[in-house]
Amino acid sequence: MSDKKILIAPSILSADFGRLAEEVKAIDSAGADWVHIDVMDGKFVPNITIGPLVVRAVRQTTKLIFDVHLMIDDPGQYVEEFADAGSDFITFHVEACKDPAGTIAKIRSKGKKAGVSIKPGTDLSSLDGLLDKVDMVLVMTVEPGFAGQSFMRDMMPKIEQLKKEFNGYVQVDGGITKDTAKEAITAGADVLVAGTAVFGKESYAEAIKGLRG
């Protein structure tokens, strides 16, 4: 393992939504690097979560980077709204998008960082021609849709391979715990998303520290 700083992006999907502003302030004070925001539409994934209104509201509470993970069909349609709501990174699923290059260009034209994501069953080859256009690739280590699922360690070779081909941020999302964080870091992860492993703990600061490896 190298000495690079691993970035931790707690997913607010596991926060107490009745106290969302306080929860975001709490992860900020606890040393989180980014705020991961899981947007689900009930179509691309079975769950429905957060829209641009909530992103905009939470934007007032922190200066941390907003890392927006769009798990929605036809993501290009909503890029502008999420950008204007205060996102910093906008990541979408290639499986949900007919024109990934155009969507990346749209994100960039709004002055935002662009990411592409792949589900566990999606091969790295689906990112051919896109890697030199994005700031981040998000490799899912659970099926997108819900927090609290088990880490799929058979995704590690995908991360190792991606690391050889891509210079930007490699983000790993799903089932990250103190133990699986180590495996993801060893495989090459730069940014770890964690829902349950942060918001499910008594001390957010200790939880975040424990994930850095």
Of the two residues 36 and 112, which places its CB atom closer to ligand DX5 in the complex? 36
Residue 38 binding ligand DX5, by CB under 6 A: yes
Interface with ligand DX5 (CB under 6 A), residue total 21
Residue 194 binding ligand DX5, by CB under 6 A: yes
- CA atoms of 22 and 193, how far apart (whole Å): 19
117 binds, among ligand DX5, Zn ion, none (CB under 5 to 8 A by kind): none
What DSSP string runs through 120-186?
TTS-GGGGTTTGGG-SEEEEESS-TT-SSPPP-GGGHHHHHHHHHH--SEEEEESS--HHHHHHHHH
Q: How many CB atoms lie within 10 A of CB 77?
A: 12
Of the two residues 8 and 197, which places its CB atom closer to ligand DX5 in the complex? 197
What letters, b where the CB count within 10 A reaches 16 and e where it falls short, cover 160-188? eebeeebebbbbbbbbbbeebbebbbebb
Residue 61 binding ligand DX5, by CB under 6 A: no
**Catalytic pick from 33, 67, 173, 190?**
173
The one-letter amino acid code at 205 reads A
Beta strands in 41-97 (DSSP E): 65-71, 89-93
- CA atoms of 207 and 209, how far apart (whole Å): 5
Query: In whole angstroms, how close is the CB of 3 to Zn ion at the nearest point?
Result: 27
Query: How many Cα neighbours within 13 Å face the side chain of 204?
Result: 22
Residue 69 binding Zn ion, by CB under 5 A: yes
Mark whether 173 is an active-site residue.
yes
Residue 122 binding ligand DX5, by CB under 6 A: no
Which of 33, 173, 183, 190 is in the footprint of Zn ion by CB under 5 A? Answer: 173
Of the two residues 105 and 205, which places its CB atom closer to ligand DX5 in the complex? 205
Which of 100, 175, 188, 210 is in the footprint of ligand DX5 by CB under 6 A? Answer: 175
Piece in contact with ligand DX5 (CB under 6 A), picked from 7-15, 53-61, 96-104, 160-168:
7-15
- CA atoms of 114 and 93, how far apart (whole Å): 11
30 binds, among Zn ion, ligand DX5, none (CB under 5 to 8 A by kind): none
Helix (H, G, I), strand (E, B) or coil at 66: strand
| Interacting residues with ligand DX5 (CB under 6 A) | 11, 13-14, 36, 38, 69, 142, 144-145, 147-149, 173-176, 193-197
| Interacting residues with Zn ion (CB under 5 A) | 38, 69, 173
